[in-house]
Amino acid sequence: MQVHQRPIFRQRALHHHLYGREKDILPHFMALPVPVLLWLLFGLLLTAAALAWTTEIPTYTSGPGVVLSAQAASERLQLQQNSGTLALIFLPWEAHQRLRPGQPVQITLPAANLTLHSHIARILPEVISPATACTYYTTTIHQAPSPVTRPSVAALVPLGQQLSASVYAGSSLTAQVQTGFTRLANLLPGIGMLLGGQGAL
């Protein structure tokens, strides 16, 4: 009698086994535990907060101004005739406690298409009303409208010898004065109000 030997593994099972061995073995990545992710996020937040607290950026105040004539400089401000060309700038009165002689000033003079870098030479002690400021924009040649519309503090800024007072007297300009530094955190929404403006240097 003929005995049929049955294979131990059926053909389909053997094919499945061989096919599985031919597959590429991919690395198994384990997900990071939630506490580790939370600590990483906390570390990033601490780093960002430290940078915002230690990083300082300059603060500015700006306002209009006018090139003074030699007559106005000598008669109204008691300056010598050889003082060179000067500008009188008008800044918000609220900023007067942060203004000091020697602070850097950027002057933009549209009439000469120039941007100059200078400094505050002198700060006038009294409050300048819009009506008083208007008189500085008036020369013997023309009367320009005054852009000063509120009480201001006035400061003298030398423009150097490259500009002639006789040519540019009465010309309007804009000035930007660097008044100090503040921490970056003070500019973030909500943080500055929480700190009450502390950190301004």
Low-confidence ranges of the chain (pLDDT < 70): 1-32, 81-82, 138-144, 190-201
Calpha distance 164→189 (Å, rounded): 46
pLDDT confidence of residue 70? 78
pLDDT confidence of residue 156? 94
pLDDT confidence of residue 30? 57
Q: Note if the pTM is more than 0.85.
A: no
* CB-CB contact of 184 with 159 (8 Å): no
What top-level class would CATH report for the domain 57-182?
mainly beta
pLDDT confidence of residue 17? 59
Using left for φ > 0, alpha for ψ between -120 and 50, and beta otherwise, residue 138 falls in beta
Tell me the domain boundaries of the chain: 57-182
pLDDT confidence of residue 52? 76
